[in-house]
Amino acid sequence: MNKVKSLVLAGLLALAPSLAMGGHALAQDNAVAAAPATENAAAPAESAANATAPAAEAAPVATVAAPPRMKPTEGIGMPKPGEYTLQEQFTSTGHTARWLHDVMLIPLIFAISIFVLILMLYAMWKFRRSANPIPSKTAHNTMIEVIWTVLPVVILLVVAVPSIGLLADQYKPAPKDAVVVKVTGYQWYWGYEYPDNGIPEFVSNMLPEDKAKANGEPYLLAPDNRLVLPAGRPIKLIITGADVIHAFAVPSLWVKMDAVPGRLNEKSFTIDEPGVYYGQCSELCGARHGFMPIAIEALPPAQFDQWVLSQGGKPAGTAPAATATAPQAAEKTADAAPAADAKI
Ligand SMILES: [Cu+2]
């Protein structure tokens, strides 16, 4: 009897750690599963709060009022009805790209297509069966072969010069004094953070149709919170994705960059003049891919500084606000240490 008792006891003892571990793992799994749900639930609430009063959120700290929301100009920074060419451009790379497209590539493509069409029609008529009962057996013509080899090479070289220059310009790193914004693509909205100005991330959701119309903004392009940037100052966007691949694209600024989870992509540009410039996510990212618009509000530099102050941030040139986050980070690691100890 004693033997049986001790056997049962030994068995229980042997199983105990795995039972305890299993229970623990299950609890952890549940916790992990519950986390995204609460995050998702919180996101719309947060965005709703931002939608109603972005300035009021920072009100207790900030004493400066945000500049009034800029009205968009019809046809600027947005597509026009019946438009078939590129949108009007407001950055230097945009001007070059539009010139390359409108003045060089399209006329060249048109001319080559017409030339080939005429050659084909001519050959079909000249060498038709009724006029040539005995077909020509010509197989080589050195002169023509030299021309049709050299001419395309010359055309490609002429096109390569401005297009390689444009390619290099598009990836030129931003100068040190650039305004830095971290752009994060989420399913399905954008987050904007100004690390150098000490402005924490806020999110930008699409406006419903009635609100967009009431604001005089294009529905499906207008979000609640815009990405506010200065005109005439270099800008550096650090673009990433939080869940799947998105793409941050604003056609009138010649900006299009993939937002890839785990990767920081950079895009630098300078906006020529103040205005509202619209864009959209340009990478198929899920069910609401078509409903995560982008609006950049380019303010005159002085007004941009005012906006930064109104959000509780520090304008460029003053002490970097980044140091303010250092104690927070330190706290986090301090918190993490005892927890790690407890686990051990
Ligand atoms: Cu997207």
Q: pLDDT tens, 297-321?
A: 999 999 999 999 999 998 876 654 4
Q: Span 94-103, mean pLDDT?
A: 95
In whole angstroms, what is the distance from residue 194 CA to residue 165 CA? 30
Ligand 1 centroid to 285 CA: how many Å? 5
Ligand 1 centroid to 155 CA: how many Å? 38
Ligand 1 centroid to 242 CA: how many Å? 10
pLDDT at residue 261, rounded to an integer: 97
Q: Span 174-197, mean pLDDT?
A: 95
Ligand 1 centroid to 339 CA: how many Å? 36
Ligand 1 centroid to 55 CA: how many Å? 26
What share of the chain in percent tops pLDDT 90?
Answer: 65
Ligand 1 centroid to 179 CA: how many Å? 24
Q: Span 125-137, mean pLDDT?
A: 90
Q: Is 220 exposed, middle or buried (0-12, 13-18, 19+ CB in 10 A)?
A: middle
Ligand 1 centroid to 189 CA: how many Å? 7
pLDDT at residue 54, rounded to an integer: 45
Ligand 1 centroid to 101 CA: how many Å? 27
Ligand 1 centroid to 185 CA: how many Å? 6
116-131 core/surface letters (b: 16 or more CB in 10 A; e: else): eeeeeeeeeeeeeeee
pLDDT value at 269 more than 70: yes
The contacts found for 173-178 with CB under 8 angstroms, 24 or more apart, are 173/266, 173/268, 174/234, 174/235, 174/236, 174/266, 174/268, 175/234, 177/233, 177/234, 177/316, 178/233, 178/234, 178/235, 178/236, 178/268
pLDDT value at 162 more than 80: yes
Q: Span 74-80, mean pLDDT?
A: 91
Ligand 1 centroid to 87 CA: how many Å? 21
How is residue 96 written in tokens? Answer: 């070059």
Averaged pLDDT of the chain: 81
Q: Confidence class of residue 106 from pLDDT cuts 50, 70 and 90? A: very high
The pLDDT tens digits for 203-244 are 999 999 999 999 999 999 999 999 999 999 999 999 999 999
Q: Span 167-194, mean pLDDT?
A: 95
In whole angstroms, what is the distance from residue 90 CA to residue 296 CA? 12
- In DSSP notation, 41-64 reads HHHHHHHHHHHH-HHHHTTTT--S
Q: Is the whole-model pTM more than 0.75?
A: no
pLDDT value at 59 more than 60: no
Ligand 1 centroid to 233 CA: how many Å? 27
pLDDT value at 77 more than 70: yes
Paired strand residues for 297: 228, 276
pLDDT value at 323 more than 50: no
User: Measuring CA to CA, which residue among 95, 94, 100 is closest to residue 163?
Assistant: 100
pLDDT at residue 31, rounded to an integer: 39
Ligand 1 centroid to 12 CA: how many Å? 53
Ligand 1 centroid to 38 CA: how many Å? 21
pLDDT at residue 75, rounded to an integer: 86
pLDDT at residue 135, rounded to an integer: 86
In whole angstroms, what is the distance from residue 193 CA to residue 270 CA? 18
Ligand 1 centroid to 245 CA: how many Å? 7
The pLDDT tens digits for 7-25 are 444 444 444 444 444 434 3
Q: Confidence class of residue 2 from pLDDT cuts 50, 70 and 90? A: low
In whole angstroms, how large is the CA radius of gyration of the chain? 30
pLDDT at residue 3, rounded to an integer: 52
Ligand 1 centroid to 188 CA: how many Å? 6
Ligand 1 centroid to 187 CA: how many Å? 6
